[in-house]
């Protein structure tokens, strides 16, 4: 029976422990006065299959190091295998590099491989493909988000993908109720600023803008303004990972969005939908 190690997403680990019956392996992680990390297991892990729960937000570098520290300590303590559940996995946005630029995902993958992580679980992984070189199970929160939106927002929704990349998730969302998907086109200016092409569009009724991540909310806000100008009645937004950097929530509301919902891959004030059951089902091996 796997032992669940509650890392940064301990609440998720506890939910899944209740759903699966798998025990929690409690541990201590601390920091010395000089900033160095201290970690120890508070239970015996010898011969066990360890599953570490870590969402890589808000400090992905530190969380990545903690994951490797826990994994290495587990193997040194006699664990049989180590797997990781990353409800939110950082460093998955950049897929191409220019001359002299870093491609962080390749470095992160090397670190996980060197730590002998045997299996990786993610939820709506941004790259939409396995880059880990080990078994990768990517789950989705879109079906549960769709259920929530149909119950709480409107029972008749047009789904808008704010850019071409988001079409993948918008289609998953719409599959739940057979809704129509409209994809907008985004032009990125820099890390914080984008332009969404204001295509000719006529809308009626309610709209939900769907994406995997809302970070600064710039793309979703522009999509909301386009939907408003196109004549829709109300605009809502849904995402799996609510990073919500800076004043993102204020920007969303100022753009005319009525309400926003996210999953609990990253705990936040809008994380009303839990993916614990989805992850628990995948872990029932």
CA-to-CA distance for 161 and 167, rounded, in angstroms? 5
How many other C-beta atoms lie within 10 A of the C-beta of residue 224? 28
> In 3D, which of 199, 189, 153 has the Cα closest to residue 173?
153
Respond yes or no: is residue 185 known to be catalytic. no
Q: How much is the CA Rg of the chain, to the nearest whole Å? A: 20
Give Dmax (Cα) for the chain. Answer: 62
Do residues 112 and 89 touch, judged by C-beta distance below 8 A?
no
CA-to-CA distance for 76 and 196, rounded, in angstroms? 51
Q: Which of 15, 119, 172, 186 is labelled catalytic?
A: 186
| DSSP 8-state code for residue 152 | H
Reduced to 3 states (helix: H, G, I; strand: E, B; else coil), residue 10 is helix
Beta strands in the chain (DSSP E): 3-6, 27-31, 37-41, 49-53, 81-86, 119-123, 135-139, 157-161, 181-183, 186-188, 194-196, 206-214, 234-242, 257-263, 271-273
> In 3D, which of 19, 20, 39 has the Cα closest to residue 28?
39
CA-to-CA distance for 13 and 24, rounded, in angstroms? 8
Distance of CA 164 to the CA centre of its chain: 18
Do residues 16 and 4 touch, judged by C-beta distance below 8 A?
yes
CA-to-CA distance for 131 and 170, rounded, in angstroms? 23
Do residues 172 and 147 touch, judged by C-beta distance below 8 A?
no
Enumerate the active-site residues. 186
């Amino acid at each position: 029976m796997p032992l669940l190690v509650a890392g940064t997403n301990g609440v998720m680990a506890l939910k899944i422990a209740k759903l699966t019956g798998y025990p929690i392996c409690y541990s201590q992680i601390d920091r010395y006065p000089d900033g160095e990390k201290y970690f120890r297991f508070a239970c015996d892990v010898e011969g066990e299959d360890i599953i570490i729960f870590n969402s890589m937000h808000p400090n992905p570098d530190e969380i990545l190091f903690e994951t490797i520290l826990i994994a290495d300590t587990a193997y040194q303590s006699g664990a049989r295998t180590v797997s990781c559940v990353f409800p939110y996995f950082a460093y998955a946005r950049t897929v191409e590099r220019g001359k002299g630029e870093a491609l962080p995902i390749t470095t992160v993958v090397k670190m996980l491989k060197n730590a002998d992580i045997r299996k990786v679980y993610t939820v709506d992984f941004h790259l939409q493909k396995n880059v880990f070189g080990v078994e990768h199970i990517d789950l989705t929160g879109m079906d549960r988000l769709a259920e929530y939106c149909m119950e709480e927002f409107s029972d008749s929704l047009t789904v808008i993908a704010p850019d071409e990349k988001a079409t993948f998730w918008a289609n998953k969302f719409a599959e739940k109720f057979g809704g129509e998907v409209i994809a907008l086109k985004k032009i990125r200016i820099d890390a914080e600023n984008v332009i969404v092409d204001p295509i000719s569009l006529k809308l009626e009724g309610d709209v939900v803008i769907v994406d995997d991540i809302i970070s600064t909310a710039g793309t979703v806000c522009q999509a909301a303004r386009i939907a408003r100008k196109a004549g829709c009645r109300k605009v809502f937004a849904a995402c799996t990972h609510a990073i919500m950097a800076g004043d993102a929530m204020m920007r969303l509301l100022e753009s005319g969005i009525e309400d926003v919902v996210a999953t609990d891959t990253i705990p936040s004030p809008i994380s009303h939908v839990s993916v614990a059951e989805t992850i628990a089902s995948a872990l029932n091996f």
